[in-house]
Structure 1
């Protein structure tokens, strides 16, 4: 193996509460009577992508809108992205335990790093700037709107592999959700799962390794070594 491919939300940092607050701020700014409580947001997280999540919410709640959804949802998402970026810049997120040291060690070992996420480029840039001082650590950044189908479809991982110029066997993926795990496995990748706040109760059958976080990354390096020797 010669590359690690990371999901972002829940994998690099606990950001879903920041996203939820940003959605609610966007709804309020648009004078919409919508508000996502934690339990409802957890249900909606089964849908990958913010725009897709809003459309699912509208469909499930049978909400009638005077504004066509094809106009309303992109505008709401743009506002939500602005609120999210502001919150992240203010430090309103928590990095997953051990992630900074793990990324630093991977770089020291000469392992190439990439990102494969369903979130937008703007959201990724905001988090990487706040958490890592920029995106330089990650050679490839593949974001949700760059592909036709989001996780659990394998498209985003296939794009990352294409841009890395590597086969799946040469890489190890890192996820926090069952949708992410399914996407990684469908792309032929081995996958390490570190469940996050909103995903801890999900089914991770098929994962190559499940850890609470990356503070004790010894098993990851063992998995990496086994793959390199294969």
Structure 2
């Protein structure tokens, strides 16, 4: 008996680390924060935290560095540093932006949506930076959409996205760059493609069904074929 061919109807995209290269900027903002308290933060210390929520990372790092301050006291320092760094320009991942557009060209019937742990205003700004207008994505899911949602690596945001776009997990592909994001998508039952960058390629990506390393070819037809074999 032939295996039933899976129908791919939706692509769910993370943004930071996939479409825009914001993690180096965030790392520099964290360094700025801890420098004010006479502490140093290394890249090796920061990399495992990429993909987790800002409050979680703040509390982890404050404890790690022995800084006796609260999230509320320190967040403005980090945020102001990050905004200043962003004002100098946010790089994009051209190969991934091109992949999104090639999917749209080759498979115009597939619906695109965004699932990001960022603030919605920041997500939209990042999408504009990557060259996408408001109407390109059918839905933009942020942690702000539902205060009850846990952020990645919990599956809540993906489960919420599936509900919003009326999709079944088996109809979707998620694109993520971190252990945290991959876990969130996988636990929601989605076929997951890992597109790591220089900062996340050392993370554990093995729960993804397909891993496409930095600089490797990325073709919509190959990704769809892998999805259908799943």
Normalising by structure 1, what TM-score? 0.82
Q: Please, which runs of 5 or more residues in structure 2 have no aligned partner?
A: 1-7
* In the alignment, structure 1 residue 216 sits paired with structure 2 residue 201: no
Superposed CA deviations along residues 149-202 of structure 1, whole A, max 9, x for unmatched, are: 111110011111111111111111001111111111100100011122222122
- RMSD (Å), alpha carbons: 2.5
Match of 1:99 in 2: 96
Matches within 5 A, 1:52-63: 52-63=56-67
Match of 2:113 in 1: 114
Match of 1:5 in 2: 12
Q: Shift of residue 215 of structure 1?
A: 4.2
* In the alignment, structure 1 residue 193 sits paired with structure 2 residue 197: no
Counterparts in 2 of 1:20 and 1:206: CA distance versus 1, 3 Å: closer
Counterparts in 2 of 1:158 and 1:211: CA distance versus 1, 3 Å: same
Superposed CA deviations along residues 32-64 of structure 1, whole A, max 9, x for unmatched, are: 43443322221433x711121011111223322
Q: Matches of 1:133 and 1:207 in 2, distance apart?
A: 26
Counterparts in 2 of 1:33 and 1:148: CA distance versus 1, 3 Å: farther
Q: Matches of 1:205 and 1:129 in 2, distance apart?
A: 31
Q: Please, which runs of 5 or more residues in structure 1 have no aligned partner?
A: none
The answer as to whether partners of 2:120 and 2:142 remain within 8 angstroms in 1 is yes
Normalising by structure 2, what TM-score? 0.82
How many aligned residue pairs are there?
A: 217
Q: Matches of 2:125 and 2:29 in 1, distance apart?
A: 14
The answer as to whether partners of 1:195 and 1:212 remain within 8 angstroms in 2 is yes
Matches within 5 A, 1:125-136: 125-136=124-135
Matches within 5 A, 1:51-90: 51-65=55-69, 69=70, 71-73=72-74, 76=75, 78=76, 80-90=78-88
- Secondary structure in 2 matching 1:174: strand
Superposed CA deviations along residues 66-109 of structure 1, whole A, max 9, x for unmatched, are: xxx25314xx2x5544543454454232x224222221122232
Q: Matches of 1:127 and 1:87 in 2, distance apart?
A: 14
Q: Matches of 2:218 and 2:68 in 1, distance apart?
A: 49
Counterparts in 2 of 1:151 and 1:125: CA distance versus 1, 3 Å: same
The answer to which of 53-62 and 177-186 deviates more is 53-62
Match of 2:5 in 1: none
